Chains A and B, each alone.
Chain A
Amino acid sequence: MIQSVNRAVRILFELQGARRLPLSELAARLNLPSSTVHGLVRTLAADGMIDQDATGRYMLGPRVLGLGNAYLDSNEFRLRSLSSAEALSERTGHAVRVAVLLGTDVVVVHHVLRPDGSRQMREIGIAIPAHASALGKVLLAFHPAASALLPQDVPLAKLTGRTLASRAALDSILEQIREEGLAYEIDEVVLGESEVAAAIFDAQGVAVGAMGVVLPTPEDARDGKAVLGSVVNAVRESAIGFSRSMGATSWPMDPATGQPPRRGRPTTARTPGQAMDGSGL
């Protein structure tokens, strides 16, 4: 490992957190002499990766935005999600998030704000523990080796009192999600917020990402998912259309075989593996 590259990256991460730091504080956080850090920040500043404010404190520079945008633009799944996400938000009147799995988290790669003009946090780039969120649960369910992803020896983090934190409970929910293609989250990441999410498949039958509608938790939803029903069809239909645009031939797909799941199991009215022509919707 090249030490100076590693140090430069740590400087960028520190500035991501504290946003504006004087040289002395930055040096203290890196546990390095100010002179060493000064050389690094000057080099980073020369390339526009960091900048100094009027009081001399360091902050991230404009080139970082360019890199972030370049990353987002290079993600084909995200690019293809833009129109589906916009349409889903318009149809439901709620915010829509598109995410991919990264380790044991989901990372939001696209966020359509709730179309009511209210002030909202922009969530692109945030990471949410997968087991807690609808976006994450659906990606775990359709991951060929989900149980290997989640640590066996560490308890699942409880983000709220309603987070599913037992492995056994999670495993049984993932089984349901594989049949239905959809995952639900009621107050499990943030109190007062619920989400219905669906997996998006590509031509190989791989769940490349997930798309979900975020809505305020309805008063009577605290007893179950039924009340989220108003957006369920919209999410499923959007996911089918989006998956089709990614080349998928069926929805949902079986993560083990890359084929539509076999029928025969008694399930709910929502039939897995339905034809992509929309029949049976």
Chain B
Amino acid sequence: MATHVGRLPARRSLRDVLEGKGFPYLMVVPTILVLSIVGVIPFVYTVFISFQETSFTRTVGFNGVENFTSLVSDPLFWKALGVTSLILVVAVPVQLLLGLGIALVMHRGILGSRFIAPVLLLPAVVAPTVVAIIWKVMLAGTWGFLTYQVVDRFSLLERGSVLGLPRSALVSILLIEIWQWTPFVALALFAGLQALPLSPYRAAAVDGASRWQIFRYLTLPMLLPLLAVLLLLRTLDSFRIFDTIFILTGGGPGTSTQVVSIYLYKSVFQFWELGRAAAGAVLIWVMFFIFASILYRIFSRRLKLF
């Protein structure tokens, strides 16, 4: 190609930019714009309000960390955090374990497994509000289907109803959470299993490895990245649980099922303490950020996953 000394390079046209290096950035601009409007800006505003004294829907003035100190000195906040943590610690591992088991069974190609997959997805695609209403009908005292056919028939509760007693209400919520999201985890892991390479398995078969050894040394390590992502997603979702509990128990009996999201909801829509609720949201975000960072470090450094 001849060079033309002394001539300025041709101006790039918009078309050149669109078809060149600028193209990928252009493609993500709408997404970034939307995320900024619906995510970043409200978040920044929430942080702003968390440092403000508020009166109903108005900000009155900067009040330092008073909202935060008021929040952390409220025993109900810590109780709500405790209930939320309990749901996390119990429901999420059970979802992952059960989901893995179901995925392994489906992966073995048992009869009908291809038809089970879409059916399994049903609880996950039903809106949480609908799930809560379904289970409220099932567990309603005296006339609920499960209450009548199981709880009353086998006298599982001495007195009271499933949703009317603190312990059974909390157990019910845990079970419903597991019921709703285990299929999603199972399907995700099933897809992951389907995508695993076959050659390691062939080699292991040639070497005479047992099923347990294949699972322990081949399948599980290869699935770890997916498991890590699912752990993070399910933890985040369980932390935000709201609809199911709001409809089933409203946070009761007493405060036995009041999670952080319900506590903050009341702070806003019943007590009109916007500053305090914003402080709660910021605090929760910080907690989860720390948790996600720790998890990422474990996955990337110790398990060398990412």
Q: Do A and B bind each other?
A: no
